[in-house]
């Protein structure tokens, strides 16, 4: 029932919006799939099949209605090396190694979903998200620059002027039409208007057909995808070769898909399922491996086009996938006439809509560390790939967080009327703050009785436990009595000589648990 309810957009006019939006997305998928296929060093039809199967399966079973999946540049840049090395190994059939790798990618991604690992996308900090969005916008924009070529030759003179003019017209229509009526599918109307001008006016400019031919293709006509088992030897050597590529592609696909899901969640003020999306992405790539598709993941550009065109239900993605297949089977002669300039204009508007322009407004309003993370992630997304960029951003953010929290540990000290010295600890105690924590104590000059109160602190890990053990041993070595208050139960169990130094107050002691190696052992002891 939940799947059925998400199939159709329940907003006013939702059915029409889903259909028109799906058609718009399908038009935008064609040149993208073809371009990314060339990037990966494979036939355009493999890219188109990949876009169709990714879109079909994820629209039906994915965790985010309205999100579009297909062949992507982030994965294509990894595939090119896989296909090239596979060709060298097999003597020319590198594409077969791509297919078997996609099968393994699908298994990895689906397993991540079943193991409910999608929740770990929540660990990605917001500055990393901004850097990802900005970097991806730049990558999309740079990928369109290649469209200003005929083959390998840059456009000049009149052809360049015509190209720029048609791109500007497309962008102008997409900018202005929503101001007249937000229900108008601006991207679709812009493509149709510009195509009509080129065809009826006999304007000389590159079309989808000439674009494919100039890059070594022969057209986009083909039949239905056919089931086939990859024609390569199934042995340990093959697995050792494809496994690293499979894990990299699976990671890139999941990261881009789940981050796109989060972005669409924010745009629509709703919430998708990361684990369900991971399973759907895995299933789609798995089937691609058996049906000769390029595979892929969620596409932020096309997803934004779909959402902004009104597509919110699963029907929009389904229409996009089916329309793409129909274009391949029956509409090749028409789709090939669409000017590349119109599609470039659409993608440039996607770049404008994708880039987080608010980044420039917050430069002086957020911590310097956040700005550095944004710059790092943006740069690495452009230079390397999404997986490297996000991993680096998360690591840097984690190090900054650890450093800042390491400096928050502090102690309030006083001696009561009985001559007992009290240390009231504030702030988290973990591996990064243990050195500063130990420096707070004056063991040599402290009185014989010392109380350390952790009521306003939290013991986070094994390093914190060891620092407490080390401190108590130092006090006991000089013959002084130390009392530890307000430790959690699991802390008490791993403090050496705990029965002598820990004062347990059942009513006040915290019940949180520490991330220590023998926590499972402790649970067993309590049982």
394-406 mean pLDDT: 87
> Is there a single domain that holds both residue 17 and residue 140?
yes
> Within this chain, do residues 432 and 375 fall inside the same structural domain, yes or no?
no
Tell me which residue range forms the domain holding 345: 12-147+155-215+231-398
Question: Which range is least confidently modeled, 113-122, 249-258, 392-401?
Answer: 113-122
Q: What is the mean pLDDT of residues 185-211?
A: 88
Lowest mean per-residue pLDDT among 2-16, 61-75, 125-139, 160-174: 2-16
- Decide if 225 is inside a domain: no
Q: Does 499 or 209 have the greater pLDDT score? A: 209
Instruction: Mark whether 184 and 313 lie in a shared domain.
Output: yes
What is the average pLDDT across 182-211? 86
Residue 526 has pLDDT above 50, yes or no: no
Residue 139's contacts (CB-CB under 8 Å, 6 or more residues apart) are 73, 74, 381, 382
Q: What average pLDDT does the segment 361-388 reach?
A: 86
Lowest mean pLDDT among 144-148, 253-257, 296-300: 144-148
The per-residue pLDDT for 519 is 41
**What per-residue confidence (pLDDT) applies to 506?**
36
- Which carries the bigger pLDDT value, residue 162 or residue 11? 162
374-377 long-range contacts (CB < 8 A, ≥24 apart) are 374/127, 374/130, 374/131, 374/134, 375/131, 376/131, 377/127, 377/128, 377/130, 377/131, 377/132, 377/134, 377/135
* Distance (Å, whole) CA 409 – CA 424: 11
Query: Taking residues 261-265, what's their average pLDDT?
Result: 88
C-alpha to C-alpha distances, 471 to 210, 293, 434, 501, nearest whole angstrom: 75, 62, 10, 12
pLDDT of residue 503: 53
**pLDDT at position 305:** 83
Is 7 inside any structural domain? no
Q: Are 348 and 438 in a shared domain? A: no
At 111-167, the pLDDT tens digits run 999 998 877 776 778 888 888 888 878 887 887 887 888 767 889 999 999 999 999
Give the residue-averaged pLDDT of 72-92: 83
pLDDT-based confidence at residue 227 (cuts at 50, 70, 90): very high
**Structural domain includes residue 5:** no
Considering the domain architecture, whether residues 79 and 186 belong to the same structural domain is answered as yes
Which position has the higher pLDDT, 139 or 246? 246
Lowest mean pLDDT among 135-149, 163-177, 186-200, 503-517: 503-517
Distances from the Cα of 113 to the Cαs of 55, 196, 219, 276, in angstroms?
18, 45, 37, 6
One domain, residues 193 and 330:
yes
Instruction: Give me the numbers of helices (H) and strands (E) for the chain, helices first please.
Output: 22, 9
Indicate if the pLDDT at residue 522 is higher than 50.
Answer: no
State the pLDDT at residue 523: 42
- Assess contact for 275 and 78: CB atoms under 8 A: no
Whether residue 511 has pLDDT greater than 70: no
Residue 2 lies in a domain: no
Of 377, 398, 419, the one marking the end of a domain is 398
Distance of alpha carbon 438 from its chain centroid, rounded? 40
Contact present, 71 and 295 (Cβ < 8 Å): yes
Using one digit for the tens of pLDDT, what is the confidence trace for 444-476? Answer: 999 999 999 988 888 888 888 888 888 988 998
Of the pLDDT bands very low, low, confident and very high (cuts 50, 70, 90), residue 9 is low
Contacts for 43 with CB less than 8 Å, ≥ 6 apart: 37, 95, 217
Are 325 and 423 part of one and the same domain?
no
Residue 221 lies in a domain: no
Whether 327 is covered by a domain: the verdict is yes
pLDDT band at 514 (very low <50, low <70, confident <90, very high): low
Helices (H), 332-483: 332-335, 340-354, 368-383, 386-406, 434-438, 462-477
In this structure, the answer to whether residues 394 and 411 fall within a common structural domain is no
Q: Mean pLDDT across the chain, nearest whole number?
A: 84
Residue 322 lies in a domain: yes
Residues 369 and 450 in one domain: no
**341 closest CA partner among 166, 198, 203, 201:** 166
Query: Do 110 and 248 share a structural domain?
Result: yes
- pLDDT above 50 (res 206): yes
Percent of the chain with pLDDT over 90: 32
pLDDT of residue 414: 93
Q: Tell me, what's the pLDDT at 5?
A: 56
The residue from 350, 381, 398 where one domain ends is 398
Specify the pLDDT at position 527. 34
Give the CATH number for residue 451: 3.30.750.24
Could you tell me which residue, 92 or 337, shows the higher pLDDT?
337
Please count the structural domains in the chain. 2
Reading the block at residue 4, the tokens are 């059925």
User: Of 371, 398, 425, which residue constitutes the final position of a domain?
Assistant: 398
> How much is the average pLDDT of 501-518?
51
Within a domain: 44: yes
Mean pLDDT along residues 194-208: 91
Are the C-beta atoms of 252 and 358 separated by less than 8 Å?
no
Same domain, 501 and 454: yes
Query: Does the pLDDT of residue 320 top 90, yes or no?
Result: yes
Helix, strand, coil percent values for the chain (each to nearest 5): 65, 10, 25
Residues 461 and 326 in one domain: no
- Band (87; pLDDT cuts 50, 70, 90): confident
pLDDT bin (cut points 50, 70, 90) of residue 525 is very low
pTM for the whole thing? 0.71
pLDDT at position 194 over 70: yes
């Amino acid at each position: 029932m939940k799947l059925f309810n998400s199939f159709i957009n329940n907003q006013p006019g939702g059915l029409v919006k889903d259909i028109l939006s799906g058609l718009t997305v399908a038009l935008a998928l064609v040149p993208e799939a073809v371009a990314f296929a060339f990037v990966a060093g494979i036939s355009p039809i493999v890219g188109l099949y990949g876009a169709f199967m990714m879109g079909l399966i994820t629209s039906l079973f994915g965790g985010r209605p309205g999100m579009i999946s297909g062949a992507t540049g982030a994965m294509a840049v990894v595939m090119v090396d896989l296909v090239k090395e596979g060709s060298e190994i097999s003597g020319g059939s590198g594409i077969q190694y791509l297919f078997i790798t996609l099968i393994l990618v699908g298994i990895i991604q689906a397993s991540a979903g079943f193991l409910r690992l999608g929740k770990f996308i929540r660990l990605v900090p917001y500055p990393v998200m901004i850097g990802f969005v900005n970097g991806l916008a730049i990558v999309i924009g740079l990928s369109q620059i290649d469209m200003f070529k005929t083959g390998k030759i840059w456009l000049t003179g009149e052809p360049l002027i015509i190209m720029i003019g048609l791109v500007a017209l497309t962008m102008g229509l997409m900018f202005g039409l929503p101001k007249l009526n937000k229900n108008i599918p601006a991207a679709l109307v812009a493509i149709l208007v510009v195509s009509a001008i080129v065809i009826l006016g006999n304007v000389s400019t590159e079309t989808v057909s000439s674009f494919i031919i100039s890059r070594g293709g022969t057209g986009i006509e083909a039949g239905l995808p056919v089931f086939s088992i990859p024609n390569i030897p199934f042995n340990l050597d093959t697995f050792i070769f494809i496994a690293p590529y499979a894990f990299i592609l699976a990671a890139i696909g999941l990261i881009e898909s789940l981050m796109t899901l989060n972005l669409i969640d924010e745009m629509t003020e709703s919430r998708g399922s990361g684990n369900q999306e991971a399973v759907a992405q895995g299933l789609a790539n798995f089937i691609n491996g058996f049906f000769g598709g390029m595979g892929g993941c969620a596409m932020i550009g096309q997803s934004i086009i779909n959402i902004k065109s009104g597509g919110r239900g699963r029907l929009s993605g389904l229409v996009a996938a089916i329309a793409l297949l129909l274009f391949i089977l029956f509409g090749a002669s028409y789709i090939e006439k669409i000017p590349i300039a119109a599609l470039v204009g659409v993608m440039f508007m996607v770049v404008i809509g994708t880039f987080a322009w608010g980044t420039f407004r917050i430069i002086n309003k957020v911590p310097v560390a956040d700005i550095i993370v944004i710059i790092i992630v943006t740069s690495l997304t452009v230079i390397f790939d999404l997986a490297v960029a996000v991993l680096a951003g998360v690591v840097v953010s984690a190090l900054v967080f650890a450093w800042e929290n390491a400096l928050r540990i502090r102690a309030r000290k006083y001696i009561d009327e009985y001559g007992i010295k009290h240390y009231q600890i504030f702030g988290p105690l973990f591996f990064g703050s243990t050195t500063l924590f130990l420096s707070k104590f004056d063991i040599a000059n402290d009185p014989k009785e010392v109380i350390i109160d952790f009521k306003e602190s939290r013991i986070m890990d094994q390093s914190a436990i060891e620092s407490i053990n080390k401190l108590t041993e130092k006090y006991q070595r000089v013959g002084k009595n130390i009392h530890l208050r307000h430790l959690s139960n699991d802390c008490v169990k791993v403090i050496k000589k705990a029965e002598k130094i820990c004062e347990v107050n059942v009513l006040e002691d915290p019940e949180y648990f520490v991330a220590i190696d023998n926590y499972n052992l402790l649970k067993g002891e309590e049982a």
